[in-house]
Amino acid sequence: MTQPTNVSYGEFPAERLALYIHAIRRLPASEQAAVLWHLWHLCDCCLELAPVIAALRKAGLDPEQMPLPQR
- The 10 Å Cβ neighbour count of residue 61 is 22
> From CA 56, how far away is CA 66, in angstroms rounded?
12
Residue 44: predicted pLDDT: 66
**pTM passes above 0.95:** no
The residue-averaged pLDDT of 15-19 equals 81
> What are the residues facing 12 on neighbouring strands?
9
> From CA 10, how far away is CA 64, in angstroms rounded?
21
Q: Tell whether the model's pLDDT for residue 47 goes beyond 80.
A: no
The residue-averaged pLDDT of 40-51 equals 70
